[in-house]
Amino acid sequence: MLRILLSVLASVLVGCLAGASWAATKSIGKDGVMVRSGPSLEHQVVFRASLGYPVEIKEKKGDWVLIRDWEGDTGWVFEPMISEIRTAVIRTEGANIRSAPSTDGDVRAKARKGEIFKILDRKDNWLKLGYYHDGVEVGWIRQDLVFGE
> Quick one: pLDDT band at residue 23, thresholds 50, 70, 90?
low
Residue 92's CATH number: 2.30.30.40
- Please report the pLDDT score of residue 127 as a whole number: 97
> Quick one: pLDDT band at residue 7, thresholds 50, 70, 90?
very low
SS3 at position 57 = strand
Distance from chain centroid for Cα 114: 13
User: Taking the model in full, what pTM does it have?
Assistant: 0.80
- Domain C-terminal end among 34, 53, 83: 83
Residue 36 lies in a domain: yes
Go through 21-48 and write b for each residue having 16 or more CB atoms within 10 A of its CB, e for each that does not.
eeeebbbbbeeebbbbeebeeeeeeeee
Q: Which residues contact 12 (CB under 8 A, 6 or more apart)?
A: none
Range of the domain at 91: 87-148
Which tens digit of pLDDT belongs to each residue from 35-68?
Answer: 999 999 999 999 999 999 999 999 999 999 999 9
Written as one string, the DSSP assignment of 14-52 is HHHHHHHGGG-EEEE-STTEEEESSSSTTSPEEEEE-TT
> Quick one: pLDDT band at residue 20, thresholds 50, 70, 90?
very low
φ, ψ of residue 108 in degrees (nearest 5): -90, -35
Residue 94 lies in a domain: yes
Domains contained in the chain, number: 2
Question: Are 98 and 139 part of one and the same domain?
Answer: yes
- Domain C-terminal end among 83, 107, 134: 83
Which tens digit of pLDDT belongs to each residue from 62-100?
Answer: 999 999 999 999 999 999 999 999 999 999 999 999 999
CB distance 55 to 67 below 8 Å: yes
pLDDT score of 131 more than 50: yes
pLDDT score of 8 more than 90: no
Question: Are 124 and 138 part of one and the same domain?
Answer: yes
Percent of the chain past pLDDT 90, that is, above it, reads 81
- Domain C-terminal end among 59, 83, 107: 83
- Please report the pLDDT score of residue 4 as a whole number: 37
Distance from chain centroid for Cα 8: 32
Question: Are 70 and 93 part of one and the same domain?
Answer: no
